A and B are shown apart, each in its own frame.
Chain A
């Protein structure tokens, strides 16, 4: 019995060893990802249009140089990447070359380095879109990927299906539309925001610019705003079947200059901070609206 067991152990060991060797050899023989870098000299304020039809991440950073640098990493022989420069416009597209039934099988990641003043139109399927320190109008679209913006300004349009947005230290105007995605706007100074989602949660924790208009709507998710006592805003909060949780009642006085004097019920509220110069409209169908004072 014992020698028989020893033979079995050796057989198993050798089989495992062979399998490991095979795996190592196969991974060593696998083709490395395609890595390309291209430079495009630009004169004025460039526009970069990137259509990533496959999965992949897009990262945009700024530099002092008047050039657009495109670094792409893609699945070998599975993705076609086309780049074209027309004046100050750079067109980039990535398309899949084969049928894919597996996630992440056909991918293309991009790192763009652009001048600080650049307009962007970026589209991807599931990867993250990350933009940092770029000034200019931008339209960012993603199906399931998140969008992360840091220190950007301009008219920013973000559309996702399931991806979420995080916008930190942004300025200008912001439009966000999603179905399943959430949005967080932090430490920002935006003149106008329009955040709309179906099941995601919305949070605005930034400055309320005088004469600014801030609209936040979530069908089923929560809507939360945080203000400081020195802000000047009118808050109009309405929910159909949800609730309005006003945790800053001491700082919000009833409206004194509009037709909303008596409207303050469980799922509806109107209040003013300061002179009420900014207009804040919060709405939900069944979610909770939360109004908080910043500590």
Chain B
């Protein structure tokens, strides 16, 4: 019997009773004796373990609190059991009706939106058309500012016109007013927006400097790992460290955002 045969016997038949051939091989092979001893210790340790170990309750509590603190979940308001049962019965009874009502409501809302949309577009594009209630349209509704006084038109018409204008004209969308988040560059590398920490009650100056310095270090590590992986794409360990570095970077960015210094 060879060592691999002995290992196979152990794997298939367990520790005892060993077949005669295995026992004779074991008597003369120190490597298999070690293997047998390891298995014996593992089996005896496993027998001492309880059948099922539940994690402590505080683990779930702290996990839930942490997720709530990070905004991943929202704490749900507990409902009284009796009320829930009553409501459950009622909702079961009326579920089809509720669905139908909701569907009808949605259809009405869509129809109303389409009507308003069509009307207002019509108002915007065809100023000479007669209006509901025989109200003449403004002279130049597409260019008239909403606050501009008109001779006869009541307030709602220019408001709708202005609304349609802003929706139907992408060029007029105020995209230039939306600036990127002040910390968006954190994800790219050098936190340019965080170069000069302002005076804010929050994380101390030293702590903030440490966070920034370590972010720089993590960025270097990421760059180094990426460079290495381009040459050695099968290096699983480097890949593992790269993933870990990304994780650390995410935590670091979160810490910087939480510090209260980055939003200035």
Contact = CB atoms under 8 A, between A and B. Distances in A.
Interface of A: 53-55, 95-104, 106, 125-126, 143-144, 161-162, 179-180, 196, 198-199, 211, 217, 219-220, 238-241, 256-257, 275-277, 283, 285-286
Contact of A101 (B31, B45, B199, B225): B199
B68 interface: no
14 contacts: A96-B201, A97-B201, A98-B201, A99-B201, A100-B204, A144-B207, A161-B207, A161-B214, A162-B210, A162-B213, A180-B213, A240-B238, A275-B41, A283-B237
B245 interface: yes
B203 interface: yes
B204 A125 contact: yes
B258 to A, nearest CB: 11
A59 B100 CA distance: 65
Contacts of B38: 257, 275-276
Given A126-B210, A257-B38, A220 B221 contact: yes
B196 to A, nearest CB: 10
Nearest to A285: B241
A198 B199 contact: no
Contacts of A211: 45
Given A54-B204, A162-B210, A276-B38, A100 B237 contact: no
Given A53-B202, A103-B206, A125-B206, 14 more contacts: A55-B207, A100-B199, A143-B207, A143-B255, A161-B207, A162-B213, A179-B252, A180-B210, A198-B217, A239-B237, A240-B228, A240-B237, A241-B228, A257-B31
Interface string B45-84: 1000000000000000000000000000000000000000
A99 B41 CA distance: 61
Interface of B: 31, 34-35, 37-38, 41, 45, 197, 199-207, 209-211, 213-214, 217-218, 221, 224-225, 228, 235, 237-238, 241, 244-245, 248, 252, 255
Nearest to A52: B204
B237 A277 contact: no
Given A240-B238, A240-B241, A219 B221 contact: yes
